[in-house]
Each structure stands twice: as C-alpha cells, then as structure tokens.
Structure 1
Amino acid sequence: MILNVLNKIDEPKDLKGLCSNDLKVLADEIREILIKKVSTTGGHFGPNLGMVEATIALHYVFNSPIDKIVYDVSHQSYTHKILTGRKNAFINPDKYNSVTGYTSPQESEHDFFTIGHTSTSVSLACGLAKARDLKGGNENIIAVIGDGSLSGGQAYEGLNNAAASGKNIIIVVNDNDMSIAENHGGLYQNLALLRNTNGKSENNFFKALGFDYHYIKDGNNIESLIKTFSKVKDTNHPVVVHMHTIKGKGYKDSEENKEAFHWVMPFDLETKEPRFKSTGESYSEVAGEFLSQKARKDSSIVAITAATPGPVGLGSFRHEFKDQFIDVGIAEEHAIALASGIASQGGKPVASFVSSFIQRTYDQLSQDLAINNNPALIMVYWGGITDSDVTHLGLFDIPLISNIPNIVYLAPTNKEEYIAMMEWGIEQDRHPVAIRVPNMEVVSTGVKVEPNFDNLNTYEKVKEGSEVAIIGLGSFYHLGNRVQEMLKESTGINATLINPRFISGIDEKLLTELLDNHRLVVTLEDGILDGGFGEKISRFYGDKDMKVLNFGASKEFTDSVSLKELYERYHLTEELIISDIKDALK
C-alpha cells in the first residue's frame, strides 16, 4: 500500500502545510488502512470511517495537545491515533495490537482520558475548561459527541453546564442519524429538522440551551469543516458545531448496513465472510426466541434495551413486536426506572443490558426498582472475566446487583435452567429479578427444570460427597464439575458439588450441613472476588470450623489481557485449583 501523504505525517503539526488536495488524499489513505486493519482485527468500523475528514480538519485547525480534544466513547478515535504518532499500529500488521481501541493517556499526550462508555465527553471537557480557567490558560477545549450519545443523561447534564459556563468550550456534534442501532427519542426529531433546514430552523435544541450554533451540511467535506472550525477557534463563549456525516463512509456495506458494521468481528474483505464463525445457538438467541414465544401469547410482555438490541438477542423481536419493544437509546438509567414503572402496573418488563453498561444503573436499581420492590426482570449479558478493553470489563455486576436488598440475582448453568429462570422471573410478582446470562457456549442437559424459585436461596446439591465441597456459580459450575472429577482421580476425594443458582443469598441450611463431614469449601465465580458471591460464603463460615477458598478475579482493571494469562493469575485452571485444595487440606 503506497501512502504518499500519510508517510509524511508523524504528528498533527505536519498537517499544517498540506494543500486541500493533499488533505483529501490523506483521508482516502487513512480510510483504506482503517478498512484493512479493522477487518483483520475487529473493532469499531462504521464510527471511525465516518469521522476521518472531521478528525483531519480538527487537527489541521487546532493545536493538539495544547488545544484539548475529548472523544465521546472514543470508538471514533482511530484517525486521531493515526495522526498523533501511532500510525504504525494501523499500517503494520505486526503492530496492530500495540494500541487499544479507545483513547489512552498512557499511549499519547494527545489523549486526555481513557474512555469507552458513552455520553461523557461534554462533562469531561467542562472539567478541562474549568481547570484551564483556574490556571489562566486560553487553549481551546473541544468535545466530540455523536448523536447517539446525546440520548444518555450525562450528555444533557454536561451540555446544560457547558452552555452556562460562558467560556470557550466547543461541542462538535457528529450527527450520522445512528446510534449503535437506530436512534430513538424526541431529540432526534429536532436533529432531523436541523438537517432538513440546513441548520436554519429556529426550533433548535442547542440554541435553546444557550449555545452559539454552526451547521455543516457535509461533515465529510474537509474544506467545509476547516472553514467552520477556523471560525469557532479561540471563541470566548460556548459553541456547538453540528455536522452531518455518513457512518461507515467509504465502504459500501457499512454505509448500507450501519448497525451491523458499527462494531465488527474480523472478516474477509473479498468474501465478506467472518473469519471466526460461531457454532450453535447462543444464550442471547435462546432469550430472544423465548421472549417472542411469550409475547405472542401475552401482550403485557415488554422488552427493553438501551441501544443494543443485537447483543441481547432482540434483533428479530423488535420487528415483530413493535408495540412491545422499547429502545430507550443509550439511557440505561431510564430503562431501569421505566421497567419499574411498567411492573408497578402489572406489566411484565424484561430489560436487557451488557454487564459493563449496567454499572450506570446502580441508583435506579436501588432507588427506583428495589425500594419499590417492583417485579421487573433484568437480563445481564457478557458478565465474566474477559480479555476485553479496560472500559468493557464484565467483572462488577455481581457485587453491584447482588448486594441490593429485594433483588433476586440468579445464575443459570445451562439452557434449561436459563429458560426456567426467565419464565419464573417474568411470571412471579414478589421481587425484582436479575439473571446473569452464562458467558459461554450454550450447554443443554435435555432435563426440564421447573420454573419455580420461590424458595429463595435454596442451592442444588448435584453430587454428594465429603471432605471438600465445591460451589460453582453460573458458568463456572462447569469448571467446578471438572475440578470435582479431577480431584477424585488424583486424590480419591469425592467432593460435594453444588450449583447455588442464587447469587444474592446463601443457603444457610445446606452450608450448615456441610460442617458435619467437610473440612474445606471452595467457591468459583466468574467475576471480581471483592464484594462478590464467595465472600458471602466466607462470611458465613467466619466463626465456624471450616476452611474456605474463594476463586475469582482480583480487584484490578485489566486491559486486553488474554484469558489464559488471567486464569493463571487468578488460579482458575483445574490444575491450580486442585493444587490449592491440596495445600489447604494439609
């Protein structure tokens, strides 16, 4: 690949001398390497392709890192990384994994925050602006935020504060008429009106807040972008630059199918086939089909998602049941309160989230849902120890949810339990119920499980034994089963194996019975140990004659660390667990 212009760019100041034609060539070259790189490694495809020209223009006009640019979510920051000294990570396949998928101050002085969650850039930029003012500085502070991110509550809080500041802060609204999926919410009617009137409508959300407002009709036109950014540079008041871009620009498939190409797994550019094909059904698909069957018979079923219908199995549900489906946009807090309101009037809401996103809902889970004890069902996907970016760890949902009173948090180990728990969670009317969806391939036993979990915190003793009891929670039940079998082979100890099913409480009767003929209890959980499930077991045995070993993740942020390395670090392999058991029994 010949990169006639990009080869000359090592830092943003190298852009300053380029002519208009060179800038356009640079955009083409960047887009080409983005398509090749992201199709190889996976990552955010459409958002980055749509922001190429705008990022070039920002760095052409402003003086980074003195002028400070904050990218909301930062899943559109790849071009920024290329222009700020990290281009080899996008050109050289051997360096592809040398940078993260998000902005990172550890990588570059041009990055000011590690960001991977949405609706945060305006608030962070407000902080940078205030810090500048306190120090007597005069640099520009720029927040880049997508139209989808504007649906998040923190975006409104930040905009409200930014508009009232009366100082230099520039909000660049990247409007491609898409969130992760299609946009939902009244705000988008106004954005559409502004696009249709070339920004001239007096019915203007941003002006109503107090911003000076500029509209760019073609947000992929470098000359138009440079002209407007130059106009607002060094402003002495809050400004919104609203630009209309094309998500996925430059790759036909991503322009036509924006949702599917928001984030991609590695795929072959020639055949368009994924490089890694999933085998068999997924737990999200099982949930989607189950809810569809329920909704066909019961009009009180309502499925709720916060802009992620695909990952939580609601892709087809939303089309078949338009009146029983609500996408609240990127507004998880609202989704929980909405579900509580529906449940309070006899509706049957099922609100589905990815684990790392449900972190934003703690106050609503506690105040709006649990205190009112409304029987909504919450589905939590992708919970567990992963090799993902630091911003998308699914480690923290167990301590977050299981320690709120009234909420029953369940952990199925197989498809049959999973379906039974969903059925019970929807039809019971006494508790808010959450289900931690197994983060693994579907396991089916073929044995029907009765949808009755009314007898709370009753564990299932699967194998009766002595000396050692292994309590394997959710997806780690299967690890416990393998440990039980290997322990018997290597030591002759026939350990008791327990499926606890309930994350949010302990079975005091069963745990007390173990005192009769057991010396050691082992807990296994696919999450952080601090505040987690195993600690509940340890606390129960704290004043009793029983040793307890808790296995799970340490309290730390990991960033793209392989599962193999993490499992070894946390002693979550069968061999290491058995070795620790042997040591504990000495």
Structure 2
Amino acid sequence: MLNKINSPDELRQLSRAELLPLADELRAFVIDSVSKTGGHLSSNLGTVELTIALHYVFNTPEDRLIWDVGHQTYPHKILTGRRDQMHTLRQLDGISGFPRRSESEYDTFGTAHSSTSISAALGMALAAKTKGETDRYAIAVIGDGAMTAGMVFEAMNNAGVYDDINLIVVLNDNDMSISPPVGALNRYLARLMSGKFYAQAKNIGKSIMPEPVRQLARRIEGHAKGMIVPATMFEELGFNYIGPIDGHDLDSLIPTLQNMKDLKGPQFLHVVTKKGQGYKLAEADPVLYHGPGKFNPAEGIKPATSSKVTYTQVFGDWLCDMAAQDNKLIGITPAMCGGSGMVEFEQRYPNRYYDVGIAEQHAVTFAAGLACEGLKPVVAIYSTFLQRAYDQLIHDVALQNLDVTFALDRAGLVGADGATHAGNYDISYLRCIPNMVVMAASDENECRQMLSTAYQYPGPAAVRYPRGAGTGAVVEKVLTTLPLGKGEVRREGKSIAILAFGTMLAPSLKAGDALDATVANMRFIKPLDTALLLELAKTHDAFVTVEEGAVMGGAGAAVAEALAEAGCVKPILHLGLPDRFIDHGDVAQLLALCGLDADGITASIRQRFGKDALRLVANQH
C-alpha cells in the first residue's frame, strides 16, 4: 500500500480501515531505511500515526504543517513524495534529515533547532487572515522537550489574543526529549495526564449522542476541568486545550482533528506518543536509537569499537577530574547531557549538575548568576546552540566580566546534520566581544589543556572543539594550562608561514611538508599571539591562515587586523569556510570540497603564490 502513496492527496483517497495497515508498512519502511543510512529513528517511529492523521485530515500543503524540532519528519517525507529518495538521507547531494523549504512544498518551514514552530505557525495563520484565506490552517507539531524554551511561551502569549485565526498546536508528548525532559512544565504535563476523571469526561463529550446529552456532557467536561485542572496554563494563555489523547490511535486522532477544524481561535491538542513505537529495541532505549548510524535491525546497534577518544569524551573526563579538585565547579547543559558528555558527571556530582532544558538563553544567564556568587560554572553547549543566547553572552556574562567557561562542542562542520547544526560562526561572533578568551583545540590533549586554561582564567572563556574523534593524541591526566595567548611553531620552513587554528593544524602540517612552509599552531584566536606574528613576519614573505570556521570575520581576519595595526604589510591568503551554508554530507568530504584538506590547502597556496611556492618545491628536490 505504501508504494502507491506518492502524495497526501493519494493518502486522503484511502478509507479509514486502510490507514492502520499503512501505518505498519510506514513504520517498517522507516526502520529499514534508517538502518541503511543512519539518522534519527526513535523519534520518527513515535510520529507514524500522527503524521498519517495530520495529512489525512488537513489539506496539505495548502494547510501549513510545521514540525518542531524537525528530526521526526521521516514519515512526513515518505508520504510527501520522497520515499524513493530516502536512501540518500543526510548524504552529500541527498535529502535533508530536517524539513527544508527548498526540498518540498510540503516543508512549509525549515526547522532543526527547537521551539520555533508556534511562532512560525502564528505568522502563517495571521498571514492567512490578512490575505482573506479563511479556510487555511496552520498546524505546529511540537515536542514536550521543546516546550521548555521561552520562545514557545512568547509565541503562545502573542497568539492567545486572536480568537479568529486557524491555529492548531499539537503537543507531541512522549516524555522523552534527547535527554529526559526536566523542570516544572514536565511535572505539570504529568499531572494533566494523570487526571483520569478529566480524560474520561473528555471522551464522553466526544461520543456520538443526542444533542441534549452532548450539551450535558460538555457541562460535565467543563466542571471536570475545573475540579481536576482548575486553570490550565494553556487555557490561561488563550488556547482551547484538548486531550490528552493516544497519539498512536488513529480512531482517536482523526475524529479529534476533524472536530478541531470546526473550532475558531488558537487550539491546543495534547497527544501522548511513545518514542521507538513498534520496534522493541528502540522502545527499550530511545536515547541509544535517537540518532544511530547504520545497523542491522534484527540485531540492533552494536557497541562502538573505535579506539580513538572523542572530543566529547575528553570534555566529560576533564569535567569530572576538575570537579574532583574544585568543589566550586558547576556543570550546566541545555538538555544535552549525553550529547555533551556529562553523564558520568551527573552521576558523580548530582548536586553540582544542572540540566535547564532546551533554554539556552536561560542557561547562560543562570551561569552568570552562579558566577556572581563565587561559583565556577561550566556551560557545555553546542556551538550552533550558543548562537541562541548571544545577547545573554554579551550583556549578562561578558559585560560584567564574569567567570564562566564555555565548552563549545560541534564547532566546525558536523556532517550529516548539515547547515542547521554546523558550528561555523562561533569564531566570528565570539572574538568581537570584549573580555572574551577564545581558543581552538588542534587535538584531544590540547583540548583538555585549553579547558583547564579557560577554567582558570578569571573571566569568560570559550574552547571550541569538533564533533567526533581527533588525531588520536594521547590525553594526559594532569590538569595543565597553556600560557595565555601564546601559539607555537610546529614546523620550521621557508618563505610562507601557515597559521593554523584548531583542527586545521593536521592538514596544514601536511601542506607544510609539501611546500617546505613554516606551520604555527596558533591555539588562541583571542588574545591573538601578535608577538609570534611579528616574529614570523621578519623571516617570511607571506602568511596563510587556515580555520574550520567562516572566513568572514574569522581568525584570519583577526590576523589581518593585527598586522595592519602593527603597520606590517604582507600578502595574506585566508582559507576557511566560504560565505555560504554548507550542506550535509561526510565531514571529510565536505572539508575537501571547501579546500580544507591537505591537498586543498597545498593547491590554494600554489595557486595564490604561484612561482614562490613552485620554487620551494623545486628546491626541495
């Protein structure tokens, strides 16, 4: 049956009885597809029936469907004409793992960072009202983990004053974000779900019955709501709350959604789903199956066998070791305990561990408050997620010169997750902030040293490091620091000095060997080692800067500014990520396409400096 569905129009031609076997086929297809490509699995298994119901009831794409956070949209992609492209998922030139406006008219809004859907849906609903499109709906599907962000409540607060818009918010409540959801809101949702009398009254109100009885049932429902949930937060914000209902029961989902189409004003539907639904291994461990690589569905995910330590593990080990030495250390994560390597820290130091939920702005200002009281917060946050707290970083931390350490995981290209998750901009947006220290790790051991350096620095400091493993450097157990703002020459050469930042040291050294160029591991983006620059300027004819970050405003720009301020005029070649968004694909493949592997760096230097570079090669031989 699934092979015959190439659009929601064809889905809507099916009878209600045919939807259940379709759901089984769709779930099996998702498991088989993800096992071959890797990607997000447990979240997508949890939205199979919900996806079918939404496309069955609503006239998509005319009705706008927005998915939040977006990694649960594989069933949506399969039903909207991309079934035959799923084998290219998250691969170079393949389809994205998230909704993407350029990919399909059914992807009405690009999402990959959480908590944006209600704001976007409200904009679309009010646009429909403005244009007189009174029959068009905007539906936002948001997870319970994403509900912790302040942006959600800003949007709901705004939406609640419009009683004549076609806006529906579907809360996909699976009690399981990437890390377990935290805070008062999660407890509130649990209390709502436990109100059995309230839920039963709701079911009575939806039954088929004569109108007088239905009116009585509505009164019963209203009184039950008053007794069990005196004033639900959602209704106080102006939404009509419905639920909770079983998100895997099509016979409940479809009639409820059809009824909601007859209601005006902001509607809030609370559905309860289970991550990994229908695949026992994923149901048992939804975190492990959140974003697996390739695996055999019959056997499940096998333990990783790589001997290399990842940068995330380096951070997690350092955090525990430093916490053992200093009881003032506080670890903070915005809902990424496992992803940031803090599981062991949480277990060993539960009273010094804070998961604040998906609330990056709050995480940074919360850390500022701790720092004001003499504690030493360490904020473990992905580079791309720190962008969401930029004002707090400047206004609440840097302006007050507070002692907060930022561990920036996933700096640089991230591969399969693509442009939405790539940490390409932290160098540019951090180095312009006064009081900030910014470091980039070239290997695992240097990452540990930089974390200690940042922690001991009495002000805001950030250490950027990439996703995955590094060069395989041996990580020393001692908690040593680096001289502040000092780089090092790693290879002595002639004529050309390559200034490598962070992960670009290894390919730069290979390029240096090919060209007999000097290679410096700059280590610090801010404060920049100006003394080393000027020393190299005395003996070299040209500079090449290499960084895994945006060229515009990046580390290379910092070098050019420093040389200009010193009145030193030298030819400079800046190599880094170009002024465009880099798509998904294998990281090594993407770096090569950007000219940031050893061959690309060598070729760019030869092209830019021509005769000089070729002369150096000739002299070598």
Shorter chain as denominator, the TM-score bin is over 0.9
5 Å-filtered alignment, 1:319-358, equals 319-358=347-386
Q: What is the aligned-residue identity percentage?
A: 37
Shift in alpha-carbon separation, 1:126–1:446, aligned structure 2, 3 A = closer
1:213-244 CA-partner distances (Å, limit 9, x unpaired):
10043111001001110111142211100111
User: Which residue of the partner structure matches residue 584 of structure 1?
Assistant: 609
Shift in alpha-carbon separation, 1:23–1:579, aligned structure 2, 3 A = closer
Structure 1 range deviating more: 373-382 or 512-521 = 512-521
Q: 1:474 aligns with which of 502, 507, 511?
A: 502
| Gaps in structure 2 of 5+ consecutive residues | 200-224, 612-621
Instruction: For residue 407 of structure 2, give the secondary structure of its aligned residue in structure 1.
Output: strand
5 Å-filtered alignment, 1:444-523, equals 444=473, 451-453=480-482, 456-488=484-516, 495-523=517-545
| Gaps in structure 1 of 5+ consecutive residues | 489-494
CA contact (8 A) 2:68 2:142 kept: yes
Quote the offset at 1:297 in angstroms: 4.0
Shift in alpha-carbon separation, 1:278–1:357, aligned structure 2, 3 A = farther
The CA distance in 1 between the partners of 2:479 and 2:252, in whole Å, is: 63
Q: 2:109 aligns with which of 105, 110, 113?
A: 113
1:294-351 CA-partner distances (Å, limit 9, x unpaired):
3234332111111111121112221222111111111111111111111121111111
Opposite residue 416 of structure 1, the aligned amino acid is: N
User: Which residue of the partner structure matches residue 209 of structure 2?
Assistant: none
Shift in alpha-carbon separation, 1:340–1:423, aligned structure 2, 3 A = same
CA contact (8 A) 2:292 2:301 kept: no
User: Which residue of the partner structure matches residue 567 of structure 1?
Assistant: 591
The CA distance in 1 between the partners of 2:441 and 2:83, in whole Å, is: 44
CA contact (8 A) 2:33 2:87 kept: yes
The CA distance in 2 between the partners of 1:105 and 1:447, in whole Å, is: 47
Opposite residue 39 of structure 1, the aligned amino acid is: S
CA contact (8 A) 1:416 1:449 kept: no
CA contact (8 A) 1:403 1:504 kept: no
Query: Does residue 418 of the first structure (1) align with residue 447 of the second (2)?
Result: yes
CA contact (8 A) 1:377 1:433 kept: yes
User: Which residue of the partner structure matches residue 39 of structure 2?
Assistant: 43
User: Which residue of the partner structure matches residue 52 of structure 1?
Assistant: 48
User: Which residue of the partner structure matches residue 328 of structure 2?
Assistant: 300
User: Which residue of the partner structure matches residue 192 of structure 2?
Assistant: 194
User: Which residue of the partner structure matches residue 204 of structure 2?
Assistant: none
Shift in alpha-carbon separation, 1:421–1:134, aligned structure 2, 3 A = same
CA contact (8 A) 1:190 1:203 kept: no
The CA distance in 2 between the partners of 1:531 and 1:95, in whole Å, is: 29
The CA distance in 1 between the partners of 2:434 and 2:262, in whole Å, is: 51
CA contact (8 A) 1:472 1:525 kept: yes
The CA distance in 1 between the partners of 2:48 and 2:372, in whole Å, is: 47
The CA distance in 2 between the partners of 1:395 and 1:95, in whole Å, is: 19
Quote the offset at 1:203 in angstroms: 4.4
5 Å-filtered alignment, 1:118-157, equals 118-138=114-134, 139-157=136-154
User: Which residue of the partner structure matches residue 615 of structure 2?
Assistant: none
Query: Does residue 392 of the first structure (1) align with residue 455 of the second (2)?
Result: no
The CA distance in 2 between the partners of 1:447 and 1:500, in whole Å, is: 21
The CA distance in 2 between the partners of 1:10 and 1:507, in whole Å, is: 58
Structure 1 range deviating more: 316-325 or 441-450 = 441-450
CA contact (8 A) 1:89 1:97 kept: no
Opposite residue 555 of structure 2, the aligned amino acid is: F
Instruction: For residue 57 of structure 1, give the secondary structure of its aligned residue in structure 2.
Output: helix
CA contact (8 A) 2:36 2:87 kept: no
| Matched residues, number | 574
The CA distance in 2 between the partners of 1:458 and 1:562, in whole Å, is: 33
Shift in alpha-carbon separation, 1:354–1:96, aligned structure 2, 3 A = closer
CA contact (8 A) 2:42 2:289 kept: yes
The CA distance in 2 between the partners of 1:147 and 1:470, in whole Å, is: 48
Q: 1:175 aligns with which of 173, 179, 187?
A: 173
Shift in alpha-carbon separation, 1:464–1:450, aligned structure 2, 3 A = farther
1:363-415 CA-partner distances (Å, limit 9, x unpaired):
11111110011111100111113433221222111112222111101122233
The CA distance in 1 between the partners of 2:289 and 2:140, in whole Å, is: 24
The CA distance in 2 between the partners of 1:309 and 1:92, in whole Å, is: 30
Quote the offset at 1:88 in angstroms: 2.0
Opposite residue 109 of structure 1, the aligned amino acid is: E
CA contact (8 A) 2:63 2:137 kept: yes
Shift in alpha-carbon separation, 1:556–1:228, aligned structure 2, 3 A = same
Opposite residue 397 of structure 1, the aligned amino acid is: D
Structure 1 range deviating more: 383-392 or 531-540 = 383-392
CA contact (8 A) 2:441 2:447 kept: yes
The CA distance in 2 between the partners of 1:459 and 1:476, in whole Å, is: 14
The CA distance in 2 between the partners of 1:474 and 1:94, in whole Å, is: 26
User: Which residue of the partner structure matches residue 538 of structure 1?
Assistant: 560
1:467-490 CA-partner distances (Å, limit 9, x unpaired):
2211111111112211222212xx
Opposite residue 386 of structure 2, the aligned amino acid is: I
Instruction: For residue 165 of structure 1, give the secondary structure of its aligned residue in structure 2.
Output: coil
Opposite residue 155 of structure 1, the aligned amino acid is: V
User: Which residue of the partner structure matches residue 220 of structure 1?
Assistant: 248
The CA distance in 2 between the partners of 1:462 and 1:341, in whole Å, is: 41
Shift in alpha-carbon separation, 1:320–1:518, aligned structure 2, 3 A = same
User: Which residue of the partner structure matches residue 404 of structure 1?
Assistant: 433
The CA distance in 2 between the partners of 1:93 and 1:553, in whole Å, is: 23
Quote the offset at 1:70 in angstroms: 0.7
CA root-mean-square deviation:
2.3
Structure 1 range deviating more: 356-365 or 443-452 = 443-452
CA contact (8 A) 2:308 2:472 kept: no
Q: 1:433 aligns with which of 447, 461, 469?
A: 461
Quote the offset at 1:91 in angstroms: 7.8
Quote the offset at 1:107 in angstroms: 2.3
Opposite residue 447 of structure 2, the aligned amino acid is: Y
CA contact (8 A) 2:443 2:470 kept: no
Opposite residue 280 of structure 2, the aligned amino acid is: K
Structure 1 range deviating more: 230-239 or 290-299 = 290-299
Structure 1 range deviating more: 174-183 or 476-485 = 476-485
Quote the offset at 1:19 in angstroms: 2.9
Shift in alpha-carbon separation, 1:404–1:234, aligned structure 2, 3 A = farther
CA contact (8 A) 2:281 2:300 kept: no
Instruction: For residue 567 of structure 1, give the secondary structure of its aligned residue in structure 2.
Output: helix
CA contact (8 A) 2:39 2:90 kept: no
The CA distance in 2 between the partners of 1:362 and 1:540, in whole Å, is: 25
Shift in alpha-carbon separation, 1:319–1:158, aligned structure 2, 3 A = same
User: Which residue of the partner structure matches residue 69 of structure 1?
Assistant: 65
User: Which residue of the partner structure matches residue 492 of structure 1?
Assistant: none
Quote the offset at 1:211 in angstroms: 0.9
The CA distance in 2 between the partners of 1:564 and 1:291, in whole Å, is: 29
Quote the offset at 1:561 in angstroms: 4.3
